[in-house]
Amino acid sequence: MKQEFLRYGLGSQRVWVGLLQCGAGMGLLAGMRVPWMGQVAAGGLALMMLLAVGVRIQIKDSAWQTMPALFYLVLNAYLALAGF
């Protein structure tokens, strides 16, 4: 995983990205009881995945390599907009 972040050019942000993802994951779980919290967490993850797709395009990854980030972008955007 460390090598992937270096490949993305984000080696120094690896810890922050992980902490944000863990926090957003907890927010998604909390959203099962408090829907607005889940929507905010999903919106944050959607924004993160939008940036991830941009990074993948910038480093010229294949469409196949970009698909997971694109899938999670769509999924989280749906959760953020449609609610829980």
> How many domains in the chain?
1
Contact assessment for residue 42 and residue 28, using Cβ atoms and an 8 Å cutoff: yes
Model confidence, pTM: 0.88
Q: Half-sphere exposure of 43 toward its Cβ, with a 13 Å CA cutoff? A: 12
- Domain containing 58: what range? 2-82
Assess whether pLDDT exceeds 70 at residue 34: yes
| Cβ count within 10 A of residue 46 | 21
Using the predicted structure, report yes or no on whether residue 8 has a pLDDT greater than 80. yes
Mean pLDDT to the nearest integer, 53-79: 96
Which pLDDT score, from 0 to 100, does residue 9 have?
87
> Binning pLDDT at 50, 70 and 90, where does residue 84 land?
low
